[in-house]
């Protein structure tokens, strides 16, 4: 269970203090090592979100701690990224649809993007379920490969709807790199140099 509370009696030299939960409840010990990624050092009066455990000595300790201010910054960043992602996806969908209707690509390409996107979404869903239940996980390299070969629209929907891999900065950097590579490859396909290859696929 997650709680929200305010840090009190924080000793920055020693890296510990206590947290009083909002609305009343049991005070818990807070240690700097129990924080997740921090944008700065905690301060007295900071609001935090945390989980509470009871130690063998009967005292309560806060774990898996995050600053509320960091979560707000993260949410704003994710919202901006999602808006940009939707714009890129919408533009690509319009572009590939126009290319098909102008007979620049065979219908097989369109079907491939749809099939790969559905497959990628399903694999993301299974991976999130596996993460929650401690089962075998799909490697990040496999997820990126699916995006690279055309499943990136499905990956985007999975990240948005399932909230899976959407907040991991390193993963997102590689993901958007695969998106750009795939879009560039698609652009090459409909160019004069890519037409012989498309003709072979269509034929």
Question: Is residue 78 one of the residues assigned to a domain?
Answer: no
Question: Residues 45, 122: one domain?
Answer: no
Helix 68-101 to helix 152-162 angle (10° resolution) is 150
Q: Which of 25, 53, 68 is the last residue of a domain?
A: 68
8 Å CB contact between 170 and 203: no
Question: Is residue 35 one of the residues assigned to a domain?
Answer: yes
* Residue 70 reports pLDDT greater than 90: no
8 Å CB contact between 30 and 52: no
Question: Residues 46, 129: one domain?
Answer: no
8 Å CB contact between 27 and 19: yes
Question: Is residue 175 one of the residues assigned to a domain?
Answer: yes
Between 26-40, 76-90, 162-176, 186-200, the lowest mean confidence (pLDDT) is in 76-90
Total domain count, the chain: 2
Bridge-partner residues for 16, per DSSP? 11, 31
Question: Residues 57, 109: one domain?
Answer: no
The phi, psi pair for 194, rounded to 5°, reads -90, -10
What pLDDT shows up at residue 115? 97
For residues 162 and 145, give the distance between their C-alpha atoms in angstroms, rounded to a whole number: 19
Domain that holds residue 185: 103-202
8 Å CB contact between 39 and 47: no
Question: Residues 120, 51: one domain?
Answer: no
- 0.95 surpassed by pTM: no
Between 4-8, 58-62, 128-132, the lowest mean confidence (pLDDT) is in 128-132
Which value, to the nearest 10 degrees, does the dihedral of the CA atoms of residues 142, 162, 152, 202 take? 100
pLDDT digits (tens, 9 = 90+) for 113-172: 999 999 999 999 999 888 878 788 899 999 999 999 999 999 999 998 888 887 677 898
């Amino acid at each position: 269970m997650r709680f929200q509370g305010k840090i009190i009696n924080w000793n920055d030299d020693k890296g510990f203090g206590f947290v009083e939960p909002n609305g009343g409840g049991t005070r818990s010990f807070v240690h700097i090592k129990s924080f997740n990624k921090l944008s700065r050092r905690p301060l007295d009066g900071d609001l935090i979100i945390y989980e509470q455990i009871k130690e063998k000595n009967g005292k309560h300790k806060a774990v898996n701690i995050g600053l509320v201010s960091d979560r707000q910054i993260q949410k704003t960043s994710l919202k901006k990224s999602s808006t940009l992602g939707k714009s890129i996806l919408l533009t690509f969908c319009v572009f590939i649809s126009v290319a098909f209707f102008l007979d620049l690509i065979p219908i097989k390409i369109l079907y491939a993007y749809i099939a790969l996107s559905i497959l990628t979404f399903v694999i993301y869903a299974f991976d999130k379920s596996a993460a929650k239940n401690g089962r075998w996980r799909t490697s990040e390299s496999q997820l990126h490969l699916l995006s690279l070969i055309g499943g990136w629209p499905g990956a985007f929907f999975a990240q948005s709807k399932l909230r899976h891999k959407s907040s991991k900065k390193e993963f997102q950097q590689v993901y958007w790199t695969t998106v750009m590579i795939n879009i560039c490859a698609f652009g090459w396909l409909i160019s004069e140099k890519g037409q012989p290859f498309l003709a072979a696929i269509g034929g």
